Homo-oligomer: A and B are copies of this chain.
């Protein structure tokens, strides 16, 4: 406890001490029931005289934060929050919903990714140097705002933006109208809105076995169960087994799947669409990587097959411009879009009008398309570089598919070497990897590598280090 009250503060010594204690208790540093040091000890420690400590202690008692047990000293009492925090509904659901080792690894990843000195080999974000920061800043000078635009938003989001998205979405083969679009604060919000707005607790969310959803928890937190499907084309047999639990939805990333980077075949898309239509299972199609195909022609969304509003299509600019804009969209039947819009209005009253104005500007001026072209080129160069490293270090012990776009290579080792132990050892070497078991329970063969985040030098160091760790 190196803290001391200071003369610099506008507060008296004893108030500083009261606040410091209060904070330690509120943030759990001093657990309920902990015995306090003696007033003499504290006086020495804080370098104040005992009367100050005494005043502070009396105030803390008066505030109900300390209590004295006769003869045995002073202890940390209840504070108003524990009974609330002792029922962490949300957290419990998350914990209950996935394997402990998983969540521990994910938490370690999240914690260590906050540190500047780590090499991040698996991070699903654009490197800072890939963000169009300057272009974005410059574009702000050309944004015009209307009072209507900066007032309370229309439930489905800015009309002009939605109309321009209709034009933009044609590039992905999607024909829709502004009324079928809901602007959301990033793709993640689509999960939350769908979970509370369309699904009941207990319903199933079907997905590929190795899936991004296993590493985040919007559906589990709302009480849904994830169900991994080996192969979308086998969906029918799988669902036959679950007849009574068929309610739910199929979550798919058919273009540049996360973590596998895979692109579904046209047959797989058609099969999933047909089977889901037959069984009345809506499809939630996540296309956030779709615009990052190195060859754009290569894969069209399932949504392009959709005649009956079977598919809710989700896109976002978080992977293409910047996550900081917090803008994404859902395309679906009006009746569903209106319901999700209602819920969004009850959750956050719509997305930032400024962010919406910026995206409208980027779409209408061609800035968006222009920056996409550059980004794809840069990602391709990074992908080639990473692949060269894989050839050099892993050709004999691992296999992979050359990336067709997006951020990831799903590296498969011939032996189950990607263990929790390896993850930890790498962490000690200041290298963060994303093990397969984070996306698929008990998968110790795979590794999600991202060429979007680390620098070339970091990729080289990281891959080299990884190779030296593996004794296959």
- List A residues at the B interface (Cβ < 8 Å): 18-19, 22-23, 26-28, 59, 63-65, 78-81, 83-85, 87-91, 125-126, 128-129, 131, 133, 136-137, 140-141, 143-153, 185-186, 188-189, 192, 196-200, 216-218, 221, 247, 276-278, 280-282, 307-310, 318, 322-326, 333-336, 339, 342-343, 346-355, 358
Q: Is the CB of A128 within 8 A of B148?
A: yes
A137-B143, A186-B349, A348-B185 are known contacts. Are A26 and B325 too (CB-CB below 8 A)? no
In the complex, A221 Cα to B148 Cα: how many Å?
Answer: 29
The 21 sampled A-B contact pairs (Cβ below 8 Å) are A19-B307, A22-B308, A22-B309, A26-B336, A28-B335, A79-B309, A80-B308, A81-B335, A83-B280, A84-B336, A90-B342, A133-B150, A136-B145, A140-B143, A150-B323, A151-B324, A152-B323, A186-B349, A218-B347, A348-B348, A352-B352
In the complex, which of the residues B88, B188, B346 contacts A349, with contact meaning CB atoms closer than 8 Å? Answer: B188
Q: Is the CB of A85 within 8 A of B339?
A: yes
In the complex, which of the residues B27, B326, B342 contacts A334, with contact meaning CB atoms closer than 8 Å? Answer: B27
Instruction: Provide the residues of chain B in CB contact with A354, threshold 8 Å.
Output: 140, 324-325, 352, 354-355, 358
Q: Is the CB of A196 within 8 A of B89?
A: yes
A129-B147, A185-B185, A352-B326 are known contacts. Are A346 and B218 too (CB-CB below 8 A)? yes
Residue ID in chain B nearest A84 by CB atoms:
B198
Q: Is the CB of A80 within 8 A of B280?
A: yes
CB of A136, distance to nearest CB on chain B (Å): 6
Instruction: Provide the residues of chain B in CB contact with A79, threshold 8 Å.
Output: 308-309, 333
In the complex, A147 Cα to B358 Cα: how many Å?
Answer: 17
Q: Is the CB of A322 within 8 A of B27?
A: no
In the complex, A309 Cα to B342 Cα: how many Å?
Answer: 34
Instruction: Provide the residues of chain B in CB contact with A153, threshold 8 Å.
Output: 323-324
In the complex, A83 Cα to B310 Cα: how many Å?
Answer: 13
- What 3 A-B pairs have minimum CB-CB distances, sorted nearest first? A324-B353, A150-B324, A352-B352
Task: Tell which of A90, A143, A276, A318 has the most Cβ of chain B within 10 Å.
Answer: A90
Residue ID in chain B nearest A179 by CB atoms:
B27
In the complex, A122 Cα to B193 Cα: how many Å?
Answer: 30
In the complex, A189 Cα to B352 Cα: how many Å?
Answer: 13
In the complex, A196 Cα to B223 Cα: how many Å?
Answer: 13
A140-B141, A307-B22, A348-B185 are known contacts. Are A84 and B355 too (CB-CB below 8 A)? no
In the complex, A146 Cα to B131 Cα: how many Å?
Answer: 10
Instruction: Provide the residues of chain B in CB contact with A18, threshold 8 Å.
Output: 307
In the complex, which of the residues B78, B151, B333 contacts A128, with contact meaning CB atoms closer than 8 Å? Answer: B151
In the complex, A276 Cα to B89 Cα: how many Å?
Answer: 23
In the complex, A298 Cα to B333 Cα: how many Å?
Answer: 51
Q: Is the CB of A322 within 8 A of B353?
A: yes
CB of A32, distance to nearest CB on chain B (Å): 12
Instruction: Provide the residues of chain B in CB contact with A309, threshold 8 Å.
Output: 22-23, 26, 79-81
In the complex, A351 Cα to B80 Cα: how many Å?
Answer: 28
Instruction: Provide the residues of chain B in CB contact with A247, threshold 8 Å.
Output: 83-84
Query: 12 additional contacts, CB 8 Å, given A80-B276, A88-B339, A326-B351?
Result: A18-B307, A90-B197, A90-B342, A90-B343, A128-B147, A141-B141, A149-B324, A151-B323, A326-B349, A326-B352, A351-B352, A354-B354
In the complex, A83 Cα to B246 Cα: how many Å?
Answer: 11
A83-B280, A347-B188, A347-B189 are known contacts. Are A136 and B150 too (CB-CB below 8 A)? yes
Instruction: Provide the residues of chain B in CB contact with A141, threshold 8 Å.
Output: 140-141
CB of A379, distance to nearest CB on chain B (Å): 16
A218-B346, A333-B26 are known contacts. Are A87 and B200 too (CB-CB below 8 A)? yes
Q: Is the CB of A192 within 8 A of B85?
A: no
CB of A55, distance to nearest CB on chain B (Å): 14
Instruction: Provide the residues of chain B in CB contact with A277, threshold 8 Å.
Output: 63-64, 80
Q: Is the CB of A323 within 8 A of B335?
A: no
Q: Is the CB of B136 within 8 A of A151?
A: no
Task: Tell which of A84, A198, A280, A358 has the most Cβ of chain B within 10 Å.
Answer: A84
Instruction: Provide the residues of chain B in CB contact with A145, threshold 8 Å.
Output: 133, 136-137, 140
In the complex, which of the residues B221, B278, B333 contacts A27, with contact meaning CB atoms closer than 8 Å? Answer: B333
In the complex, A196 Cα to B84 Cα: how many Å?
Answer: 11
Q: Is the CB of A326 within 8 A of B347?
A: no
Q: Is the CB of A322 within 8 A of B151?
A: yes
Q: Is the CB of B282 within 8 A of A84?
A: yes
Q: Is the CB of A325 within 8 A of B346?
A: no
Q: Is the CB of A310 within 8 A of B80?
A: yes
